[in-house]
Structure 1
Amino acid sequence: MAGMTKKATLLILGGASDLARRLLIPGAANFLAVHPEAEIDIVGVGTTPQEDYPGFIRSAVQESELVEDESVGERLAKNSRFIEADATDDKELARVIGEANPETRLVIYCALPPSVAGSTIDALCSVELPVGTVLAIEKPIGTDAPSAADVEKRALKVVDESHLYRVDHFLQQSAVSSLIGLLALNRPLLDSFRAESVESVDFVYEETLALEGRAGFYDSTGATRDMHQSHLIQVVMHILAVGGDESVADLLEHASADPANARRGQYTAGEIDGHRVPAYTDEEGIDESSTTETLSQVQIDIDTDRWRGVPVRLRSGKAFGTERKDLTITYLPSDVADGPRTRIVITFDDVLHIQMHVTAGLGVEKHEPLEAVAELHEGHLSPYARVVRALVAGDHRREVPAGTAARAWEVLQPVLDAFDNDEVELEKYPAGSDTFDQWSPPGE
């Protein structure tokens, strides 16, 4: 890839974190498998000693099953080490950074929770960094609009805008790139991608996973903060910006979310894939009186000429019987009898559906549905491998744009406040549900 450095040091603050083990380290291995000419040294940093960090690296790569060639994991493990240090202490950070290979591009990856990330960024301000150092910060960026803006302000004291990456791996999903490409490359689709032709845009992300040991985090967060504020709203804004004059930041500036159009739910006891799942309030670590939502649907309205009047619905939930992860563009009904609708649906396992209507020479009144289905080539890189590629190549095309994390919090704050104050009914659905029928699933 043009502009990609061949040698990089990935300095992971939180080097033994869950994010590093499950996503970032396997992503680095996946990147190396596709780009064998590249070299990546991994330096993990944390306060808990790691006796065998190369072994940690090997296990992370093997468990991910992203890379078939074991030599890739061995190569990454061989070029890895762990340094016990406090990432919030500027002197300890200076020591860690001073030990990095000066012949490589330094990428500092902040894989730390928001409660620690701010102090870490402050500490970095006092450290002299090598020229060209990249700083990557993960979602969630802040816990509300002021704190998100503050994190960005602090980060820009460490590096300039061209060396700051606000990471959201959902933007690196191949399905997102495929839909953006489909719209951008096909003039009939692009010309009709506006309010005059589009009825609604929906992003549904329903998981079969329940809490999976994340009770403490999830109960203080909920579906809306966990998924909508970062992943879902960023993805749809990147898609709605295709072919238009408005940037992601412009669209968010004109976006709003009315609590009257929001719904929330919480799963009760049920069964998923033959396994009994307790009610959310019976899960270990959850208070029985908790009103945290495990299912949320929010409607975003955008007051621009191109998108005014088009509801943009974001929906995510946990503990469903079947996964549903897709983006749907529904076009306005035609003027003929029965008003059939055309839809474009792309799933997160990279299957494209285009639902149309045709006739058999009998006139438009006797139309019938036709669905074209294509299995897309999802590429060789996982989302986090694409994140690593972007960091070493200096590619900012699929990242959270400056200021938009704070603005996303502002857009959703009325809904979050309504949920927190129990102003929106907390509906119930059994774990293992195929879908929440009462909500008339978008795109169906």
Structure 2
Amino acid sequence: MTKPSTRRPDHPPFAFVLFGGTGDLAMRKILPALYAAHRDGLLAPEGQIVAVANTALDSSGYLRWVGEHVKPHIAGTPLDDSVWRSFLERIAYVALDASQPEAFSLLGNTLASGHGRRIFYLATGPALFVPICRALASAGLTEGSRIVLEKPLGYDLESSNAINDAVGQIFKEDQIYRIDHYLGKEAVQNLLALRFGNSLFEPLWRREWVESIQITVAEELGVEGRGNFYDQTGALRDMVQNHLLQLLSIIAMEPPRSMDADAVRDEKLRVLRALKPVLGDEIRHNVVRGQYHAGAIKGASVCAYHAESGVGQGSTTETFVALKAEVENWRWAGVPFFLRTGKRLAGRIAEIVVNFRPVPHSALGPTALRPGSNRLTIRLQPNESIRLSALAKQPGMGMTLQGVHLDLAFDQFFQQDRMEAYQRLLLDVIGGRLALFVRRDEQEAAWRWVAPIIEDWLGNASPPKPYASGTWGPAAASALLARHNTCWPEEEN
């Protein structure tokens, strides 16, 4: 077991203030990630964690809460009691109502002793982002600090701009960290390494050789008690506008001049601005929205979306989206990007599939002409890996081709433990590295692209297409790809 290092690490002293400190995100992701960084000796000894919530607890009560709710979500090596106790020594708790600015003097008193740069992580609903920032400013706590904003940042382009405008009056752009945890995943980092660290793929990474690209983020879970939130959000806002479009921009971006934050984000922005608008009849032809009905997940019966707690009667909120996007530039013109995400699907998968064009003529039979014979699959979850699919001759007489795979499973090839996405991103916030965070103009470009779809759905009386829980979504999602002579990976023979 690796114990916290007594050597001063590269990361500077900090005071990490976690708003929403008793919430689900704090318990499942943020505090486990900070514990892992502490366990691995990656946090400065002077670093302090201050949890803030409206729950009436004293410090000892909060630490008991943390022990009960955080420990089950700590991955990796077995938990060491001495390391856990030393982690708890970093944590203080402040009970306050974030909507009451006068209460922030309590927080100021806790931070008065000084523990380095202040980092304010807003793991709250977006309605509290602006009040919290204004209260921090009124309490004189924002000078030289950093602010981390969780998604969703608004409900549409207008509300997103309103939040960004208000936060931008208090914090400079280089102080604002808009987090998208998919950008911290090891496989996404390896996608950058694969593209820009090797000469093998770059000549093929263009319209002449790529037939289509598919991005899937599928969940087996439903709304999991978040019906009130999800019914006002839906899959398009919750997943497509941020996670999927960020992945698309990384796949399609031009090589940056360096890995500096703005160099990388400038190239992603160019992709988002080059997305062909989806308007009018194209929305009905190229966008599928669905909603799960009752079914079974791994043999267990689950209810329909409209029966979930907090979901409105007769709700038309989508729990599934599949769509075709196009990037209008020289590299990608004419190549369809198929994006798909949904809840209560047949499996938990996040992956990117790059389908290369088949050979123009085959002397070896029709197998070599079959779409999908040559592809690159980047798996983000559950097991991060990269797979290259090709054709080879079967042993024996004749020239019969069969698909073969070259696999890189990160957990098998690399012996060291992989860093979880939130741990990497939190260390980047502490270290002041912005490359893996979303810049405001990126966010605006993404909202601008999905806005016509949102507006069309608001004015469209037709309900989402139903699909049974435990399936891969409505049949219309398969038909969308069939019109382009391709299919989703699970539909292949």
TM over 0.5: yes
**Equivalent residue for 1:96, pick from 78, 82, 107:** 107
Q: Which residue of 1 aligns with 2:27?
A: 21
**Of 78, 88, 92, the match for 1:77:** 88
* 1:353 equivalent in structure 2: 387
Query: What is the aligned partner in structure 2 of residue 241 from structure 1?
Result: 253
Aligned pair count reads 443
Is 1:297 aligned to 2:322, yes or no? Answer: yes
TM superposition shift of 1:171: 0.8
Give 1:3 shift. 9.2
Aligned to 1:371: 405
Q: Tell me which amino acid in the other structure corresponds to 2:389.
A: Q
2:464 matched residue in structure 1: 426
Superposed counterparts of 1:30-429, under 5 Å? 30-36=36-42, 38-39=44-45, 40-51=47-58, 52-66=61-75, 68=78, 69-100=80-111, 101-129=113-141, 131-243=143-255, 247-258=267-278, 259=283, 260-337=285-362, 338=366, 339-340=369-370, 341-347=373-379, 348=381, 349-359=383-393, 367-377=401-411, 379-422=417-460, 426-429=464-467
Q: Deviations over 1:266-302 (max 9, x none)?
A: 1121111221112222233334422211111122222
SS at match of 2:135: helix
Contact 2:49–2:91 (8 Å) recurs in 1: yes
For 1:299 and 1:399, locate their aligned partners in 2 and report how far apart those are by CA, in whole Å: 25
Would the alpha carbon gap of residues 130 and 430 (structure 1) be closer, same or farther in structure 2, given more than 3 Å must change? Answer: closer
Deviations 1:210-263 (A, max 9, x none): 121111111121111111111111122123225268611111112135213100
Cα 1:394/1:183, change in 2 over 3 Å: same
Q: 1:209 to 1:130 in 2, by over 3 A?
A: closer
Distance 1:130 1:430 in 2: 49
Judged with a 3 Å threshold, the aligned counterparts in structure 2 of structure 1 residues 313 and 50 are, in CA distance, closer, same or farther, namely farther
Mapped partners of 1:159, 1:167: distance in 2: 16
User: In structure 1, what residue type is equivalent to 2:335?
Assistant: V
What SS does structure 2 have at the residue aligned with 1:5?
A: coil
Q: 3-state DSSP class of the match of 1:354?
A: strand
What is the rounded CA distance, in whole Å, between the counterparts of 2:268 and 2:42 in structure 1? 34
User: Cα offset for 1:381?
Assistant: 1.8
Per the TM alignment, residue 437 of structure 1 is displaced from its structure 2 partner at its CA by 5.2
SS in 1 for 2:318: coil
Unaligned 5+ segments in structure 2 are 1-7, 258-265, 479-486
- Amino acid in structure 2 at the alignment position of 1:346: I
Quote how far apart the aligned CAs of 1:151 are: 2.0
When structure 1 is superposed on structure 2, of 195-204 and 236-245 the one drifting more is: 236-245
SS of the residue 2:163 aligns to: helix
How much does 1:412 deviate? 0.6
CA distance in 1, matches of 2:437, 2:320: 26
Contact kept? 2:207, 2:334, Cα under 8 Å: yes
Q: Point out the more displaced range, 198-207 or 431-440.
A: 431-440
Identity %: 25
Indicate conservation of the 8 Å contact 2:186/2:418, yes or no: no
1:136-181 Cα distance to aligned partner (Å, 9 max, x none):
1111112111221232222233232222211111111112112221
| TM-score normalized with structure 1 length | 0.91
Q: Distance in 1 between matches of 2:328 and 2:147?
A: 34
2:484 is aligned to: none
CA distance in 2, matches of 1:135, 1:3: 22
5+ long unaligned stretches in structure 1: none
SS class of match (1:178): helix
Do 1:313 and 1:442's aligned partners in 2 also have CA atoms closer than 8 Å? no
Highest RCO, 1 vs 2 (Cα 8 Å, sep ≥ 6):
1
Aligned pair partner of 1:10 in 1, 10, 16: 16
Three-state SS of the structure 1 residue aligned to 2:352 is strand
> Partners in 2 of 1:223 and 1:103 — Cα distance?
40
User: Whole-Å Cα distance in 2 between the matches of residues 256 and 122 of structure 1?
Assistant: 38
Maintained 8 Å contact 1:354/1:371? yes
Deviation at 1:361, TM superposition (A): 11
Counterpart Cα distance in 1 of 2:148 and 2:156 = 19
Instruction: Report if aligned partners of 2:217, 2:351 keep a CA contact under 8 Å in 1.
Output: yes
